[in-house]
Amino acid sequence: MKKLLLASVLFFALSGAAHAETIKATVNGMVCAFCATGIEKSFTALPEVDHVKVDLEEKLVTINMKQGQTLDDDHVEKVITDAGYSTNGIVREKNDEPTK
Amino acid sequence: MERITIGKLAEMTGISADTLRYYEKMKLIGADRTEAGYRIYSSDTVGVVRFILGAKALNFTLEEIRVLLTLESSDKASCAQVLKRTESKIAEAETKIQELKEVKKVLSRLVKECPADNTPTACCPILDHIKGAAKVAMASFIFILAAGTAQAKPISYVGGTMVMQENDETGHTFALDYTVTPKLAVGLYAKKEAGGDDFYTVGPQVNTLIKRWNLPDGQGNIFNMTGAGITHDGNDNEASVWTGFLADYETRRVFISYEPRFMYAGDIDKSFWQRARVGVAPYLANYDDLNTWLMVQVDHHPTKDDNVVVTPLVRFFYKTTLIEAGYSSNDHVMFNWQLQF
């Protein structure tokens, strides 16, 4: 029984070291902060998304995903299009920090 | 038929040449031109001008007089149509009489309260009352501002709702929009016109995005806003339809827009007006900063006395709240706000 308990603890500890993904989308037309709030609101409404940062200077939307969650490129592009803009490129980064 | 010059017509009617030109602009009277370009009128115009003066004496507005002139010259128009408009004027007159009676009542009470001696004016009940009334007027003004549509874009993001209110020299406008698709928003539009205590329009409105250009450093749009509803003026109700277009282009530094609008509300209102705006951002604000814009708005209402009104204004927005404040060339405060959620 003790061995089973130890194996369970080790399993959950190892599976907790999942990667949190960051998606960066370059957006065209994003010049007005008031109008760009739609991008932030639309992404933060998604359960997979942890938080969003909008940067007008870099024309960049940075989407930090929750651990183990992701959004495919089509989904990212649809959210940005529904908010009134167009994407000019999507890149992904994996953060290797384990889950606390 | 005898032809007369503008000077002669002015002399015969006692109306200045400037006013006669204005009547022509308002399409109340017609004029031909001589080869040299001078205005020339038929002798019948004297009768039309006298008709206008007679109607003005009965408190009809120039817009209403134009309708009366149309009825007067129409074979199909009836007395009942003229009666309907006259009854509406009676209702207006009664309202004014009541207001004046109230004024008289207050003035009489103040006269009774006055000590009528050498009491210093610091203790004058009449002056105290006027100061109190000024405070109430200011409180009402602030309430109207607070109750207060500033439209950054008539379509936001899918699932987004916008509430907006504009208070300017044209009246008070309220709009509520829900964005259904990236190219379509539906909502409610209501406007209480300036210059009439009981002149308003209300109805559903559909906003569509006709074309959008998303560029690396800018965005351009063409929108259409079309609605239908009821326009109420005094005792008169008319089905109304309105449509307008908004073309804009902005970068983080400059903003420019043009907006023509058309309204048809039967006998109450048939109008066209247009608005243009240019703006500049004095500093480049990022997404999380307070954004500030200095703008100039030019409104052109072809049928109004002050047909071109210029309003310098300042626009602030932070996240989902937008506020605009300005002061127009015809001495009206502008205050607009918009919330997005």
Nearest Cβ partner of B291 from A33, A38, A39? A33
Residue A71 contacts residue A65 (beta carbons within 8 Å)? yes
Q: Which residues of B touch A88 (CB under 8 A)?
A: 216
Q: Which residue out of A35, A78, A85 would a mutagenesis test of the B interface target, given it has the greatest number of B Cβ atoms within 10 Å? A: A35
| Residue that the structure tokens 């009134």 belong to | A84
Which residues pair with residue B249 across a beta bridge? Answer: B220, B256
Mean pLDDT in residue range A89-96: 81
Q: Which tokens sit at B184? A: 């379509």
In the three-class reduction of DSSP (H, G, I as helix; E, B as strand; rest coil), residue B118 is classed as coil
Give the Cα separation of B74 and B67 in Å (integer). Answer: 10
Confidence at A60, pLDDT banded by 50, 70, 90 = very high
B216 touches chain A (CB under 8 A): yes
Residues of B in contact with A57 (CB under 8 A): 284, 286
B157 to chain A, minimum CA–CA distance in Å? Answer: 4
Q: What span, in angstroms and rounded, lies between the C-alpha atoms of B271 and B269?
A: 6
Residue of B nearest to A57 (CA): B286
The answer for B206, left when phi > 0, alpha when psi is -120 to 50, beta otherwise, is beta
Contacts of B162 (CB under 8 A, 6+ apart): B151, B156, B175, B176, B177, B179, B185, B187, B338, B339, B340
User: In Å, how far is A28's CA from the nearest CA of chain B?
Assistant: 5
Does residue A65 have a pLDDT over 50? yes
> Side-chain half-sphere of B27: how many Cα atoms within 13 Å?
10
Tens of pLDDT along chain B (341 residues)?
A: 688 999 999 999 998 888 888 888 888 999 998 888 888 999 899 999 999 999 989 988 888 898 899 888 888 888 988 898 898 889 888 888 888 888 888 888 888 888 888 888 888 888 888 877 665 555 444 444 333 344 568 888 999 999 999 988 888 899 999 999 999 999 999 988 876 667 888 999 999 999 999 998 999 999 999 999 998 887 788 899 999 999 999 999 999 999 999 989 887 778 888 999 999 999 998 988 999 999 999 999 887 767 899 999 999 999 889 999 999 998 889 999 999 88
DSSP assignment of B124-168 equals: -HHHHHHHHHHHHHHHHHHHHHHH----S-S--STT-EEEEEEEE
Cβ neighbours of residue B213 closer than 8 Å, sequence gap 6 or more: A29, B219, B220, B221
| Cα–Cα dist B177/B203, whole Å | 12
Chain B (27-46) residues lying within 8 Å, Cβ to Cβ, of chain A: none
Answer whether A33 sits within 8 Å of B285, measured CB to CB: yes
Q: In whole angstroms, give the CA distance from residue B304 to residue B331.
A: 15
For residue A10, the distance in angstroms to the closest alpha carbon of chain B comes to 43
Quote the pTM value. Answer: 0.61
Instruction: Please enumerate residues of A whose Cβ is less than 8 A from a Cβ of B.
Output: 27-39, 41-42, 45, 54-57, 59, 81-86, 88
pLDDT band of residue A2 (cuts 50, 70, 90) is low
Asked if residues B85 and B68 have their Cβ atoms less than 8 Å apart, the reply is: yes
DSSP states of B238-301 as a string? EEEEEEEEEEEEE-SSEEEEEEEEEEEETTTEEEEEEEEEEEE-SS---TTSPEEEEEEEEEE-
User: Which domains occur in chain A, in start order?
Assistant: 19-94 (3.30.70.100)
Q: Please tell me which residue of chain B has the smallest CA distance to A53.
A: B287
Tell me B122's DSSP state.
G
Residue entry with tokens 């029984």: A1
Q: Do B286 and A34 touch (CB under 8 A)?
A: no
Predicted local distance difference test score (pLDDT) of residue A13: 44
Chain B residues in contact with A81 (beta carbon < 8 A): 182
Residue of A26, A30, A34 to mutate when probing chain B, most B C-beta within 10 A: A34
ipTM for the predicted complex comes to: 0.77
- Residue numbers of B between 180 and 209 with CB closer than 8 Å to A: 181-182
Distance from CA of B62 to the nearest CA of A (A): 42
User: Choosing among B210, B219, B287, which should be mutated to test the A contact, i.e. which has the most A CBs within 10 A?
Assistant: B287
Which has more pLDDT, A93 or B221? B221
Q: Where are the beta strands (DSSP E) in chain A?
A: 20-28, 49-55, 60-65, 86-95
pLDDT of residue A49: 94
Q: Write the DSSP assignment of A9-21 as a string of letters.
A: HHHHHHHT-PPEE
Please tell me which residue of chain B has the smallest CA distance to A33.
B287
Res A96: pLDDT: 57
